[in-house]
Homo-oligomer: A and B are copies of this chain.
Amino acid sequence: MNSFGRIFRVNVFGESHGESVGVNIDGTPAGIPLKQEDFLPDLERRKGGARGTTPRKEEDLPFLKSGVFNDRTTGAPITILFENNNTRSADYAKLREFPRPGHADFVAAKKFGGFEDYRGGGHFSGRLTLNLVAAGVIAKKILGEGIKINAVIKEVGGFADAEEGLEEAIKAKDSVGGIVECTVDGLPIGLGEPFFDSVESALAHAAFAIPAIKGIEFGAGFAAAKMKGLEHNDPIVDATGKTATNHAGGIVGGITNGNQLVFRVAVKPTSSTPKEQQTLNIASGQVETFSVKGRHDLCIALRVPVVLEAVTAMVLADFMLLEMRVPRVWQQ
């Protein structure tokens, strides 16, 4: 299934070098102001072009095909389409011989019997994160001004200073990974459920939908495994539920506790490294030398923050609609 959410339901579609990528969103309340320009700031943040990101440039204009009338949401499903104009598929012809290490080429061919669109990763492409960002823009509107989501780069290639990490990578002519942290302020107490619908479950589910993410931790996270109980516990200090520390990252028993929500994700190095690799040539059946062609990010983590904010907003909007009973017609 290429869909997510219970009330605020997001369906992504499209291929990197096909005609388009897009997203269909059901469950948005009616009456929310929405027009093409609203999407541009977050889409701009995601866009390639900065140092360490791919030189591929697309207009990335979101076309609103349904669900919006007179610049407001109608309550009907919203479909947003992005056209693919700037593709150079010839770059990818070689993938059929060399399934790229770290990419889905090999498993996709096995799973879909060779019928998959392999150009530029096809449906597996990071280009589909455009859809997530677009859905996130709407989700942020549902959350309203009072809830602030903020994701930032914490580390690139092991360096707290991202610039330093990039320098290293450029020098090494290799790609690098990174860590992104996301915080949310202003959440009410009570979102989530114990067990399967815990806020951690939902956020992790959504975060791992972002290509290249290989780990997630909430609050103290993996460091908590080395802590003692008294040290890790967050004492409650007043009747609003405020805690003295926030090792729980704002979630206890799967439920938001009114403190800042904090989590971090680990992003692997871009699989398409500029370096030569030794890997299987399917045609010859031999391990051979292979270099990835095409235009790629040196550090895909740099593009993750806005996407992580988007899926976080999607998850939280869904919880707000479900738990806080946000009305079907928007009021703000």
Q: Which residues of A contact B (CB under 8 A)?
A: 1-4, 6-7, 9, 11-15, 18-22, 24, 26-27, 30-31, 64-67, 69, 72-79, 81, 99, 101-104, 106-108, 110-113, 115-117, 122-124, 128, 155, 157-158, 169, 172, 174-179, 189-190, 193-198, 200-202, 204-209, 211, 213-239, 241, 243, 247-249, 252-257, 266-273, 275, 277-280, 282, 285, 287, 301, 322-323, 325-329
**Interface contact A206-B214, CB-CB below 8 Å:** no
Chain B residues in 8 Å Cβ range of A236: 99, 101, 106, 279-280
**Interface contact B232-A74, CB-CB below 8 Å:** no
The complex places the Cα of A275 from the Cα of B233 at a distance, in Å, of: 11
Known pairs A1-B6, A231-B269. 13 more at Cβ < 8 A?
A14-B65, A20-B66, A22-B79, A67-B123, A102-B229, A107-B253, A107-B255, A110-B241, A155-B225, A204-B204, A215-B216, A227-B268, A236-B279
**Interface contact B66-A21, CB-CB below 8 Å:** yes
**Interface contact B255-A108, CB-CB below 8 Å:** yes
- Using known A-B contacts A69-B115, A224-B266, determine if residue A215 contacts B217 with beta carbons closer than 8 Å: yes
The complex places the Cα of A110 from the Cα of B255 at a distance, in Å, of: 10
21 contacts between A and B (CB under 8 A): A2-B77, A4-B196, A11-B77, A13-B66, A14-B65, A69-B117, A75-B112, A104-B194, A111-B190, A111-B328, A175-B229, A201-B205, A205-B205, A214-B220, A214-B221, A214-B224, A215-B218, A235-B279, A235-B287, A239-B285, A247-B268
Shortest Cβ-Cβ A-B pairs, 3 listed: A104-B253, A229-B273, A325-B325
- A238 nearest CB across to chain B (Å): 7
Q: Which of A73, A231, A234, A256 has the most CB of B within 10 A?
A: A231
**Interface contact A278-B30, CB-CB below 8 Å:** no
Chain B residues in 8 Å Cβ range of A26: 1-3, 11
Which residue in B1, B155, B207, B229 is a CB contact (below 8 Å) of A275? B229
Report whether over half of chain A's contact residues are helix, strand or loop; otherwise say mixed: mixed
- A303 nearest CB across to chain B (Å): 15
**Interface contact B189-A111, CB-CB below 8 Å:** yes
The complex places the Cα of A291 from the Cα of B173 at a distance, in Å, of: 56
Chain B residues in 8 Å Cβ range of A270: 229
- A323 nearest CB across to chain B (Å): 6
- A88 nearest CB across to chain B (Å): 17
Chain B residues in 8 Å Cβ range of A117: 69, 74, 76
